[in-house]
Chain A
Amino acid sequence: MIPLLQVTGLSKRYGAHVGCADVAFDLWPGEVMGIVGESGSGKSTLLNCLAGHLAPDAGQVIFDTREQGPRDTRAMTEAERRWLARTDWAYVHQNPRDGLRMGVSAGGNVGERLMAVGARHYGDIRGQAQDWLSRVEIDTGRMDDRPGTFSGGMQQRVQIARNLVTGPRLVFMDEPTGGLDVSVQARLLDLLRGLVRRLGLSVVIVTHDLAVVRLLADRLMVMKDGHVVEEGLTDQVLDDPQHGYTQLLVSSVLHV
């Protein structure tokens, strides 16, 4: 078996400022990798470099494609990258407004990826959109409503349905539970955990919320000032943090 995603020496600078430096890891099929760190630690820069939204200055991001095996996504053409982005990859934004088309109904939002890869049968597209909306616990009676009429938690679930409808193998998540209240967060996490396990998805999830990675992630990377300071199994890192910064992070969590 080979890793789904191999990252080596990934660096991104913004002028003199370091975005992320020399990041390397392997992501195996079905594995959930969490990336934690405080604001400005380079988590989102790293995720954007991985997903091809930003061009890294150095390093490789090698993805195991279905047809051609492992390929460096940086060497791909824009057309190939976009094709990956709407078939095998998915990207869940922190703010659902960034990942959804607010002027298009929920059903249309979910159907867009299907149509972008060539589906041209209205009945089939609608059927699949309906199926996915019910899987993320959205009342299918509301599938023709625009996302603007939905609550924040519902919007986030529509965004997840929209991303998973083409059966991606790799999902990037940027703070998927950010900006939601705790009870909604809990339900969303429950849903995510179920989907990830049932579909055997590989996930790279970026968050500052340690509870989220405790629930979802198999492995954990801790970032500070653009560098990975500690990495290991989630429980190991959280229960026995070695690096001073990780210890600070773990001890900063509020307990009720």
Chain B
Amino acid sequence: MTDQAYNFAYLDEATKRMLRRALLKAVAIPGYQVPFSSREMPMPYGWGTGGVQVTAACLVPEDTLKVIDQGADDTTNAVSIRSFFEKVAGVATTEATAEASVIQTRHRIPETPLHAGQILVFQVPIPEPLRFLEPRETETRVMHALEDYGLMQVRLYEDIARHGEIARAYAYPVKVEGRYVMDPSPIPKFDNPKLNMSPALQLFGAGRECRIYALPPFTRVESLDFEDYPFTPSKAAGQDCAICGASGSYLDEVITDDAGGRMFVCSDTDYCATRVQEASA
């Protein structure tokens, strides 16, 4: 079979229309989870099938695509999704955040500030922020509808009672425009402030769970907290990137030997490489 046997961006046009309708609804009701009929994709669930479908529905031939996985452009997930769209859509790809028009991401928001016109697509494993608090899906929907979010606060209370601080470090729940509580996907809470008032369109796709939600540009996104225990976007304390020296970026801890050697490096590889290049130039 040749690559031309595929429709542009793999999915057929009717499916893309269905996805776009869901996306439009999601954008119209920021933070609300819109059900959609998720398709089988040529990759396993948990590898970003939701994100891939949303990206496929958004792509046009003129787009430039960037795919990152935990901030890196060169890991398996990112490389395979990028080559997938090179093959089935023939769009240009890039590793530079500023040059991309569509960015599909897993677990990070790029360090380089996004600009208007860009689309950031998140891969979401569990869209329901109340999932492990209330087992009934029918009930969580009613709770969203009635803005019954005391339970979410109980989880944060439990954290403080047990650990002395809100211990949740990723998938930190946010409130969108003072209305819906949303799971921002497993991004580190360090990235939560970047969700707020972002000039880019942010789309969230959960393939296995058949849910799409969205944050239109310039949406107010607040992280839940207590008055006396305010939200803090934390990262590895007191460390700078060992490669580029950045102090304000999110760091990965890399084990370098079996004698306790370790280093902290930027998780955003494009950001790090650009800084190194600029420094040597």
Query: Which A residues are within 8 Å of any B CB, using their own CB?
Result: 78-79, 82, 86, 101, 104-105, 107-108, 111-113, 115-117, 120-123, 125-126, 143-144
Contacts and interface: CB of A to CB of B under 8 A. Distances in A.
Contact of A126 (B142, B150, B154, B161): B161
B226 A144 contact: no
Given A78-B142, A121-B226, A121-B228, A105 B161 contact: yes
A115 B227 contact: no
B158 A120 contact: no
Given A78-B142, A108-B157, A120 B148 contact: no
Contacts of B158: 104-105, 108
Contact of A121 (B148, B150, B151, B227): B227
A82 B161 contact: no
Shortest beta-carbon contacts, A-B, top 8: A116-B150, A115-B153, A122-B226, A115-B150, A121-B227, A79-B146, A112-B154, A144-B161
Nearest to B151: A112
Contact of A78 (B146, B151, B154, B227): B146
A147 to B, nearest CB: 13
Contacts, number: 54
A78 B161 CA distance: 32
B160 interface: yes
A100 to B, nearest CB: 12
Given A107-B161, A108-B158, A121-B228, 15 more contacts: A78-B142, A79-B146, A104-B154, A104-B158, A105-B161, A108-B161, A112-B151, A115-B150, A116-B148, A117-B150, A120-B227, A122-B160, A125-B157, A126-B161, A143-B161
A143 B161 CA distance: 9
Contacts of B136: none
B22 to A, nearest CB: 26
B229 interface: yes
A115 B154 contact: yes
Contact of A113 (B142, B150, B229): B150
Interface string B139-155: 00010001011110110
Contacts of A120: 153, 225-227
7 contacts: A78-B142, A79-B146, A82-B146, A111-B157, A121-B226, A122-B227, A126-B161
